[in-house]
Amino acid sequence: MRIATWNINSITVRIDRLLAWLERSGTDVLCLQELKCDAAAFPTERLREHGYEAAVHADGRWNGVAVLSRVGLTEVETGLRAGPEFDGKAEPRAVAATCGGARVWSVYVPNGREVGHPHFAYKLRWLAALKDTVAQDAAGERPFAVLGDFNVAPADEDVYDLAQFEGATHVTDVERAALEALRGTGLSDVVPRPLKYDKPFTYWDYRQLCFPKNRGMRIDLVYGNAAFAGAVKDAYVDREERKGKGASDHAPVVVDLDA
């Protein structure tokens, strides 16, 4: 079974690329983030025509997450349990489903904006709520994974130049400690470093030729429990999908499981 995660950066803008990629990649389950559409505008019928069911949690703003599956989709859950709000609103940043015997969460962790900003404190609360939400599944015997855009680079080598991020979000000790606490529930990073190249980044800013110069970050992650990690046969970042006109600023991260 092939499972992937991808910050699509607007499914409305990139639906044709998404459908072409699903066909080309042979992905069975795809976790999407940053849909930028509401649930009513989500292209459910077009995806169904290609054999995919969808669990969607979206409200039309810059957030929104989904799980697509062609191997079954049950036990859908939207939002974190006791998840925090920002500006009085519970944002649509997490959705879970069981697909082909594996339980997955698609998550879009808050950006944090800047250290000291209220959004940064919200980000840390959100990560703590994610840990509490997934702890029981993570410790279970069923294959389980949390996939998505975490907006945190787990280690120094996960950014192109650490000096460029001094004092900024995504690389602080407290953010990385929150990821470590999440892994402490029984999860591990199932995408090894290095992969087929030295720096397996997953995100490159559109500006300043960041992609051609490989000035990127590894912030799209797959954390699986022992049953999930033990079934992993291969994992890679589909860097080719970041190329060309109309690409998302993120590349898909793909994991193959031995069913």
Supply the pLDDT for residue 194.
Answer: 57
Question: What type of residue is 256?
Answer: D
Q: Report pLDDT for 61.
A: 82
Whole-number pLDDT of residue 197: 55
Conformation bin of residue 244: beta by default, left when phi > 0, alpha when psi is -120 to 50: left
Return the pLDDT at 259.
72
Q: Stretch 123-147: mean pLDDT, rounded?
A: 97
CA 156 vs CA 49, 132, 166, 179: distances in Å: 43, 26, 11, 14
98 pLDDT tier (thresholds 50, 70, 90):
very high
Split at pLDDT 50, 70, 90, the class of 40 is very high
**Residue of higher predicted confidence among 192 and 120:** 120
Provide the number of structural domains found in the chain: 1
Closest alpha carbon to 91 in 101, 78, 103? 78
Mean pLDDT of 175-192: 96
Mean pLDDT, the chain, integer: 95
Q: Is the pLDDT of residue 104 over 90?
A: yes
Question: Is 192 domain-assigned?
Answer: yes
Asked if residue 15 is part of any domain, the answer here is no
Q: Which residues contact 164 (CB under 8 A, 6 or more apart)?
A: none
Which residue in 52, 65, 135, 66 sits closest to 100, CA to CA? 52
Residue 233 burial by CB count (10 A; 0-12/13-18/19+): exposed, middle or buried? exposed
Q: What CATH number should be reported for the domain holding residue 135?
A: 3.60.10.10
Segment 179-200 shows an average pLDDT of 83
Q: What is the domain range of residue 214?
A: 72-248
Q: Is residue 37 part of a domain?
A: no
The predicted pLDDT at position 199 comes to: 62
pLDDT at 78: 98
On the question of pLDDT at 195 being above 80, the answer is no
In a domain, 131, yes or no: yes
| Domain presence at residue 167 | yes
Is the pLDDT reported for residue 15 higher than 80?
yes
